[in-house]
Every structure is written in C-alpha cells, then in structure tokens.
A and B are shown apart, each in its own frame.
Chain A
Amino acid sequence: MVYYLLLPFLSILLVVLQTSIADILFSGRLILEISLIVVIYAGFRFDLVKGLILAFILGFVYDCLSGSVLGLFTFIYMVIFLCSFFVSIMFSTEKLYFIALFSLICSFLKEILVILFYNLTYGLVIVKKTSLIFPLQAVLISLLAVLFFYFVHRTEGFLYGKAFQSTERARTGRLSEET
C-alpha cells in the first residue's frame, strides 16, 4: 500500500530530477530518460499489476510535466513495460550487455512511437530534425541503463543479500528460477 501511495510522489521527483539534470548537463538538447530505464527495470523485476501501475503513473507524470499530449507517454511506457515483462520471461535479463541492447531497442521503440504519433495525428515530420538526437539519446539511455541496473543490483545485494524479485513473480516467473 505504501508503494502505491509513494509512487506518484516518487514519480514526480524522478521526472523533475531527470529534467533538471538534463537541463544542466545538455542545456535541454538531450533528455536523460531515467524514467524509461525505471520502466524497463520494473518490467524485468516487478509483477505485472505493480509494474503496470508504475508505468502508468510514471508515464502520466511525464506527460503532465513534459507538455506532450496527455496519455501519449502513459501508453508508450505501458507498452515498453509489457515488452520488458514478456522479454524477461523469455530471456535471462541479468547480463549487462543484454540490458544495454534491450534499453537501446526500447529507446528506439519509444522514439518511433512518438514520431509515428505526431506524424499520424498532426502530420508533423520530425525525423529530419531529430535524426541525430534520437540515436544519441538511445545510446545514452542504454549506457545509463547498464549503470542503473548495476548500482540497483549492488544496492539490492547490500540490502537483501540477493537481487530483488517481486514475491508473486518469484513464485511463477522464469527469471526467479535463474537468479
């Protein structure tokens, strides 16, 4: 229950933090989408309901604070969460290179969905404008994801003695058997 109560506040904190850091480091040219990495992490480690709510709230907060159409990132984050969730069932998600590759794919997927959405709804062609930024951002996210997963793994090891796994998922998921 505490998780669901804290989730909106933590989501706001995370989105504000990532926007501010990106503003300081890249003067708004690039976005440090740690929220996307958190969604991927949730897809790998959380159970479906818990993770989907996280993706929903995080996407909604991102929509509210980024100024995009309300519901766009909510939907995209949920799609990415579901992808991560099903991938984590099929593959081992412990390897850092896999995390980097998957984050890169997810980042591209997100960008493609955004481009498609703006193209289909407003007829905007933003591929030319962002053709350089999107790959750069995707690489940045994949690198950050590796760092994020590594530090989270270390923290979990420090706190619980082993990597964290949602209880429901630990009972049923394939991932739990491997870790």
Chain B
Amino acid sequence: MFLKKYKTVIFVVAILAISLILLSYNLKHETGTGLVKKVVLEAAAPVHNILILSVKSVSNAWLRYVFLVGLEHDNRDLKKKIDELKAELILYQEGYLEAQRLKKLLLLKDSYNYHFISAQVIAKEPAALSRTIMINKGSAHGLKAGMPVIAPPGLVGRLTDVSWHVSKVLLLIDESSNIDVFLQRTRTQGIIRGAGSRGCILQYISKTQDVKEGETVLSSGIGGVFPKGLLAGVISRVDRQDAGLFLKINITPFVDFSKLEEVLVLADQEEGN
C-alpha cells in the first residue's frame, strides 16, 4: 500500500541514488571504459562518422566552390593579361617591322651621296586617274617640288605639290609620269611612263634592240630630276608583234606602292661629294 502510494517518489529517489552511486563509484574506482560506456561509444561511432562525412563533403563542396570562384577570377585576370600581352606583342612586331623598313631605307641612303629626308606616308590617293601619295614633310623640312622620292628597293616618284608640312608625291605608275631610264644589261635608253594598275610602260626602244623579259631598268640621270642608277623596275613583257618602230615593253616597278609606309626624299646632293 505504502509502495503503491509513494511509487513515484521512491522511483525519483532511487534513480537519483543510482546516479550518485554511479558517480561516487566512478570517482573512487576510476573504472575507465566500462561495458555500458563501450556500448554507447560503439553506438555513437557510426553516427559520428556519418556526421563527419557529411560535414566534410559539404565543406569540400564549399571549398571547391570557393576555389572555382577564385579560378574564375584568375581566369578573367589571365585573359585580361593575355589581351594586354597580345597588344604589347603587336606593338613590338610593328616596331620590329618598322625597324626593318627603316634599316632598308638606311641601306638605300648609304648607297647615294644625297641628303635624305625621311617621311611617312599619311594618305594614298584613291582616285583611279592620278596615282599619288601624301607624305608628312613639306617645305618647312626643306622639301621642294620635283625632288625624287625613293623607298626600298628603288624609285617611288617625285614631289609635285609641296605645302609647309605636307607634300604630294606623283608615283612612278601615274600616267603623267615620265622618267628617262636605261636597261642595265644592254645600256639601251628609253622613257618609262606610268600605266596605272598595269605598272609602267617602257617607250622608245627600237625593235632592233636586244631586250629580254626580266631585265632590270634603272634611272639614267638624264633630265637632272632623278639620280643615275635608281632601280625603276623589271621588264615583265616584251611585245614585238605590234606594228610600229618601237617595242611595246611592260615594266613591273620594284616598289610595291600598296605597301608604302616610309619614303626617303632625295634633297640636295651632299657637299664635298
């Protein structure tokens, strides 16, 4: 009867007593890892492992995400760097090509005892009728109309209009251009006239002359405009069928006018030479 009435109180007291006995027993004996503790630890191990695995996988995924975000940033930076380097490389290549062209100009300069004024091509005449280019030097730099203009490997034309800081160059291939020339092999003289897109035509060479394709044509120096020995072009075709006294000879200029960027203007002859 008593037990039934106070069973809850007895239970509370008993369970409290058990915990205190457990505590004091463990304090006194230091039992270490008991059987029940072992069971609890064994049961906790898989839960712990699962938790650690899931935490690890989440953490790895997060780290990977952070790494990928970093990688994307790096990638963007590297692409930017590549673009910068590409631009720099193009600049260097351009500089190298310019140096090569200027080197050729200098070589040409060394071949003649003239005072040279170098100039850059700033415009090309688009009109089909006249074949001219504009250069960035003018009378302020000592240029005068009629001065010959050369570029590697030879003749370009002559100055027609000279302003203070800009000049116009009449190209060799312009139809109004006439230059006295001779053939290098046979020393036969003639007049080279511009023929537009077809290049030039060599005139006034008699049919009796020995003229062959591939021969080099040089300026003769007659007329006083162009110095003697400038490379004008090479014979590309000789036509003997045409009726008349003279041969019809086509000349391909040495200079590629479409790629002209720098030219030399032959000013006065250097003193002492």
Task: Verify B8–A74 contact, CB threshold 8 A.
Answer: no
Chain B residues 1-54 with CB under 8 Å of chain A are 8, 11-12, 15-16, 18-27, 31, 34, 36-37, 40-41, 43-44, 47-48, 51-52
User: Which residues A49-99 have CB closer than 8 A to chain B?
Assistant: 49, 52-53, 56, 59-61, 64-65, 69-72, 74-75, 78, 82
Asked if A7 CB lies within 8 Å of chain B CBs, one says no
Q: A20-B52, A64-B36 are in contact. Are A82 and B12 (CB under 8 A)?
A: yes
Q: How far is the CB of B4 from chain A (nearest CB, A)?
A: 14
Contact A78 B16 (CB under 8 A): yes
Q: How far is the CA of A64 from the CA of B26 in the complex (A)?
A: 12
A-B contact count (CB 8 A): 75
Ordered nearest first, which 4 A-B pairs have the shortest CB separation? A71-B23, A71-B22, A64-B40, A70-B26
Which chain A residue shows the least CB distance to B24? A71
Q: Are A20 and B51 in contact (CB under 8 A)?
A: yes
**CB-defined A-B contacts under 8 Å, sample of 15:** A8-B40, A9-B43, A12-B40, A16-B48, A49-B8, A61-B40, A64-B37, A69-B26, A70-B34, A71-B19, A71-B25, A71-B26, A75-B20, A78-B19, A82-B12
B residues bordering A, Cβ < 8 Å? Answer: 8, 11-12, 15-16, 18-27, 31, 34, 36-37, 40-41, 43-44, 47-48, 51-52, 55
Q: Smallest CB–CB gap between A4 and chain B, Å?
A: 14
- Distance in angstroms from B62 CB to nearest chain A CB is 12
Q: Which of B19, B34, B47 meets A16, CB within 8 Å?
A: B47
Residue in B12, B19, B44 with the greatest tally of chain A CB atoms within 10 Å? B19
Contacts of A13 in B (CB 8 A): 47
In the assembled complex, how far is the CB of residue A66 from the closest CB belonging to chain B, in whole angstroms? 11
A34 to chain B: which residues have CB within 8 Å?
none
* Residue ID in chain A nearest B20 by CB atoms: A75
B23 proximity list for chain A (CB < 8 A): 69-72, 74-75
A121 CB–B CB distance under 8 Å: yes
Q: Which of B16, B37, B44, B51 contacts A75 (CB under 8 A)? A: B16
0/1 per residue, A12-42, Cβ < 8 Å to B? 1101110010001000000000000000000
CB atoms of B15 and A15 under 8 A apart: no
- Centre residue among A16, A48, A59 by max chain B CB count within 10 A: A16
CB distance from B54 to the nearest CB of A (A): 9
> A69: nearest residue on chain B (CB-CB)?
B26
Q: Which residue of A lies closest to B30 (CB)?
A: A69
- The complex places the Cα of A131 from the Cα of B19 at a distance, in Å, of 28
- Known A-B contacts A64-B41, A74-B19; A52 and B52 likewise in contact (beta carbons under 8 Å): no
From A24, A56, A60, give the contact of B55 (CB < 8 A).
A24
- Chain A residues with Cβ below 8 Å from B36 are 60, 64
What separation, in Å, do the CA atoms of A121 and B15 have in the docked complex?
22
Is the pair B44, A56 in contact by a Cβ cutoff of 8 Å? no
Q: Known pairs A12-B47, A52-B15. 19 more at Cβ < 8 A?
A: A8-B40, A13-B47, A15-B44, A16-B47, A16-B51, A20-B52, A48-B11, A56-B19, A61-B40, A65-B40, A65-B44, A69-B26, A71-B19, A71-B24, A71-B25, A75-B20, A75-B23, A78-B19, A82-B12
Contacts of B15 in A (CB 8 A): 52-53, 56, 78
| Residues of chain A within 8 A of B47, CB atoms compared | 12-13, 16-17
Nearest residue, chain A, Cβ from B40? A64
Chain B positions within 8 Å of A121 at CB level:
27
Known contacts A52-B12, A64-B37; is A71 also within 8 Å of B20 by CB?
A: yes
